[in-house]
């Protein structure tokens, strides 16, 4: 999928999210994202 943004932009946004969420690995960020999506789908959020 091409969003028309550079890889550097994606990396910068990911780094900002990781800093805000206090995670140091992309895998942990993905885990948090999946948990959030699951909770939202169940109406918990």
As averages over each run of 10 residues, the pLDDT of the chain (45 residues) reads: 92 97 97 97 95
Written as one string, the DSSP assignment of 1-45 is: ---S--HHHHHHHHHHHHHHHT--SHHHHHHHHHHHHHHHHTT--
Q: Crossing angle, helix 7-21 and helix 26-41, to 10 degrees?
A: 70
In the structure encoding, which two tokens stand for residue 6, read together?
Answer: 């550079």
Query: In whole angstroms, what separates CA 15 from the centre of its chain?
Result: 9
pLDDT for residue 16: 98
Give the total residue count for the chain: 45
Residue 2 has a pLDDT of 87
Domain ranges of the chain: 7-41
């Amino acid at each position: 999928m091409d969003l028309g943004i550079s890889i550097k932009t994606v990396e910068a946004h990911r780094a900002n999210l990781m800093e805000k969420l206090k995670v140091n690995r992309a895998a942990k960020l993905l885990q948090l994202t999946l948990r959030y999506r699951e909770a939202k789908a169940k109406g918990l959020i």
